[in-house]
Each structure stands twice: as C-alpha cells, then as structure tokens.
Structure 1
Amino acid sequence: MTKNLQNKLLYHLNFLKSIGYEYGQNLNFKNSNTEQVRLPDDIKQLEELVKNCHLCQLSKYRENVLFGSGNINSNIMFLKESPTISEDEVDAFYVGKSGELLKNMIEKVLKVPCETVYITNIVKCISPNSEIKAEHVNNCKAYLDKQIELVKPKLLVILGESVYRHFTSDNTAFSEIRGKVIPNNDLDIICTYEPSFLLRNPSSKGEAYEDLLKIKAIMEQM
C-alpha cells in the first residue's frame, strides 16, 4: 500500500469516526460452530435446531434436512454419509435404489422393521456434487455426537469406508476392519459396505450378507 493510499484511507476512517461510527473488536466467525452452543437434551428440539442450520454451504443446496429416523430408543444405529437426491427430494430415508436396498438388508436379513432401528447421516444436507469435505463433517459433528448421546445405541453400524474415516479418523484399510466389532468408548462399531457401493459392485453382496448375519447375532444378544 502506497503512502498516498494510506493517507486517503486514514482520512476516510477519521471522517467516518467524526460522524458517529464506532469501531469494536474484530469478530471471529471462523471458530463459530455448534461446539460453542449448548445443544438441547431433547431430540425433537435438536432436530428443529439442525433443520435451521446454515453453518456451511451445503445448506444452500438442500431441499430438506435428513436428521434421523426410527426408534430413538433403539440399541442399534445405522450411520450413512449424506442424503441421496431421492431422500432430499421426499424428506425420507429408505427411498431410491440404495435406500430400497438398505431397507431390504434390514428387514430381510436382520429380520426387523426399519422403524425399530435408528438411522442418521454423518452430514445432514445433500452435496450437489456428492463430495463431502472435512468442513462439512466438522460442522455436523456436534449434532451427530448429541444424537448418539440421546439415542444411546449399543451398536453403531457404519455404512461405507468414507463414513468410517470421517467418524474415527482411522486410516486402517477398510478390508481389515469391515465386519469386525470395534469397541469405541461405550459404543461398539461394526462396518459394512454402503448400499450404493453394493449396487455398483454386486459381487460384494456376499460379504455384506455375512456382515449382516454378525450384526443380527449381536442384536439377538442385546
């Protein structure tokens, strides 16, 4: 910045001050997130809060917020990455091809109605290019943590490698952890393939079926 430009800027600032403008401390919006706000202990109130969230740019693209669905007292929670186009359009889980496949996985293999388990996304809004960034996950993290705290599941079924990475920050090869029970504080985790992956790779459905049988056995012991 040249000396002449500096003088012009100072003159302008002094003029604004002379007509009543006051200057305070800079506001730090970078660190403004859900961790600075006490989240409600009622899941319906939490859902209303999340539905009015505009912490990241994904809020610009959504039709609906896919907060969660099912039994809030369930021992088992399913965790997806983000809403699909179909889910965003109709404001419901288990729609579209991947949603229908997941419904079949739960009802035909686990032998329980979808309404008896709880399902949510790690990111509550749709991404226009299906790219979920770390900032999106971080902005939704406190919401997900609170959901887990309120639902109190005993088993978290993680659908897909990317969800596992986002949730745990663990870089272990997915082939090594898929189908294994992983203790995580008071919550056990088990990973399997996401339905959209199975639609693209039907040869992996046999492995997913084995994972579901393990989940079913765990559920029967709860």
Structure 2
Amino acid sequence: MNTARDLNPDQLRSLLHFYADSGVEWLLEEEAIDRIAEFEAMRAARGVVPQREAAPAPQAPARQAPTRQEQPRPAAPAPLTNVAIPDGQAVAEAELAAGSARSLDELRTAMEAFNGCNLKTSARCLVFAEGKAKPAVMVIGAMPNAEDDRDGQPFSGRQGAMLDRMLGGIGLARADLLITNVVPWRPPGNRPPSQREADICRPFIERQIALAEPNHLLVLGNFAARFLFRSNDTIHQLRGEWREITISGRNIPAFATLHPQDLATAPISKRLAWQDLLAFRAGLSG
C-alpha cells in the first residue's frame, strides 16, 4: 500500500483535493494510537492523581417512631388531562370585548387591549381592517404575513400588490373596499392558526363584519373559506360558488376564491382565480 511518503507533491495535492471533494474532514494516522493511554500519561506527567471513589458515608440511625400518630401526607395530584379546545374562558372574554364595541374604532381599541390569544405575544402588532367603513364589498383573508405584521396593514407588500391587480381587473379599487383577515395577529413562522386560536379570534372577525355591514363578502384562500363557511372542504371545492353566511342575524352573500399566495405558489391557478373574479363581479351586478 502506498503511503504519503511515496507520493510527490503534485500527487499528494491531487489526493488531498480528492479527499476534500469526497467530504473527508479528518485524516487517520498510519498506525493506531491509544489516545486513552496517551491522555493518562499526560495526566501522570502533570502530577494529576485520578480521583478515587469516596467511601460511603455512615448511615444515620433509624428514627424512632413518633409517640403520636403522624398525619398521612396528601396524595399527589393526578396528572392534568388535555385542556378542552377551545379555551372557553378566552372565547367568552373575546365575545365580551367584541360585543361591547359599537364602531370599528372601538373594536380596534378592544382588540389592542385583549390578551386572551397567545398569537398576540409573538406578533409585532395588531393588523386590523383597513378601507371603507361601510363598504359594498368586504375582502377577508386568512392571517397577516411578515410584511403585514411589519407594516400593520392587511395585504401589504407583494401579496397586496397582487390583490390590487386581481381586484383592479374587475373594476374594484382598494379604497372602496374594507380589507381584513380572519386572524388579526401573525402566527409564528406563518404557520396555520390552531383551532383554539381561530375560535378565540372568531368573535372579532364576526363583529367586524357586523359593524361594517357589507353587501357582499369576497373570501380568499383555504383557511378563511373553511372558517367562514364552517366547512372541512378545500378551497378548490368551495371556490367559484355563492354561499350565504349569517352574522348577527343578517344573511350575507359570500364568494370564495384563491388567495394571492396561492397564485404566487402555483401561477397556473391564475386562470381559475380569473374565472372566479369574473363570476364574483357578475354577482355584484345581479
């Protein structure tokens, strides 16, 4: 077997490059070395004495039984079972806070003061509805993304620009609409909100709809459509058809289509979204 001493500099350089390209990070010695014995020899040379095991301490004499009877210790509490979802107390507090608001401004103030949803602790700010207070059309997405959380506005950044183009294609302008999300705080890492978090946020989005009194709803994406239609179907099963949702005793026509994020992820879906928007526009005129 050839050793490194048998190679000339060019051959050795080529071999080292080959090892590096193969992912080799450590080179072994040509002969085995007992590293443990080497370490012990180094310790002995420095005068380090191996620590011996300490002798067991003498046991204390057994304590005599008390003259009076001791009270038995209380049994350890049983382990907690899973807490029911949603948290009824947090939902009740959200319903109280939302129901007390008599305007969108009051609702924003109530939501800023609400601490019952853990999403608030990780989000930078509350992303509240923006636009016309009493619109003919209310647009509802799922939750803020990082750009929305940074700017404090729903559908800002690239997704907002795409939404503006989608709406502009059917003659709708952002200034004439009210745009919001089901969940007003950005979940960490843009993860989907849990069922508990969604149920805590439900009173707030339903109160927004009740106070805005829109004539029609445009629902964007899988999460928002499932939430508002109370369905387990996917967005591809829910999109493209008019439905009604009941908010505060009022039936509101609602139409679901794909979210701008869906179109950015799968541009081929733009054709489906365009069909939906044309049908939505036709429904507004009907």
**TM-score, length of structure 2 as denominator length:** 0.65
User: SS state of the match for residue 74, structure 2?
Assistant: helix
Q: Which amino acid aligns with 2:243?
A: I
SS in 2 for 1:40: coil
Q: Which amino acid aligns with 2:195?
A: A
- Give per-residue Cα distances to partners, 1:159-186, cap 9 Å, x unaligned: 0112111222212343332111112241
The alpha carbon displacement at 1:91 in A equals 1.1
| Offset of residue 79 of structure 1 | 0.7
1:73 aligns with 2:134: yes
For 1:214, what is the secondary structure of its paired residue? helix
CA displacement 1:89-142 (0-9 Å, x = unmatched): 0112332221211111112x1222201011111000000122211111111111
TM-aligned CA distance change 1:220 to 1:63, over 3 Å: same
Deviations 1:33-83 (A, max 9, x none): 222453211111111111222111111111111110011111111111111
Residues 200/45 of structure 1: CA separation in 2 closer, same or farther (3 Å cut): same
Tell me the equivalent position of 2:199.
138
Structure with more contact order per residue of length (Cα contacts < 8 Å, sep ≥ 6)? 1
Contact (CA 8 Å) 1:160, 1:194: kept in 2 or not?
yes
User: What does 1:2-41 align with in structure 2 at a 5 Å threshold?
Assistant: 4-6=72-74, 29=89, 32-37=92-97, 38-41=99-102
Q: Which consecutive residues of structure 2, in runs of 5 or more, have no partner in the other structure?
A: 1-70, 76-87
Match of 2:212 among 143, 146, 151: 151
Measured in 2, the distance between the counterparts of 1:50 and 1:145 equals: 13
Confirm or deny: 8 A CA contact 1:181 1:188 kept in the other structure: yes
Q: Percent identity?
A: 21
Within 5 Å, which residues of 2 pair with 1:175-190? 175-185=236-246, 186-190=251-255
State the alpha-carbon separation in 2 of the partners of residues 98 and 45 from structure 1.
Answer: 28
- Residue 181 of structure 2 aligns with an amino acid whose one-letter code is N
Secondary structure (helix, strand or coil) at the match of 2:256 reads strand
Residue 24 of structure 1 is matched in structure 2 by none
CA contact (8 A) 1:79 1:159 kept: yes
Distance 1:31 1:196, change over 3 A: closer
2: distance between equivalents of 1:94 and 1:36?
28
Between Structure 1 and Structure 2, whose CA radius of gyration is higher? Answer: 2
State the alpha-carbon separation in 2 of the partners of residues 89 and 175 from structure 1. 30
Matched residue count: 198
Partner of 1:193: 258
CA distance in structure 2 between the aligned counterparts of 1:164 and 1:66, rounded to whole angstroms: 19
Residue aligning to 1:203: 268
- Structure 1 spans left out of the alignment, 5+ residues: 8-27
TM-score (norm 1): 0.82
For the aligned residue pairs, the C-alpha RMSD in angstroms reads 2.0
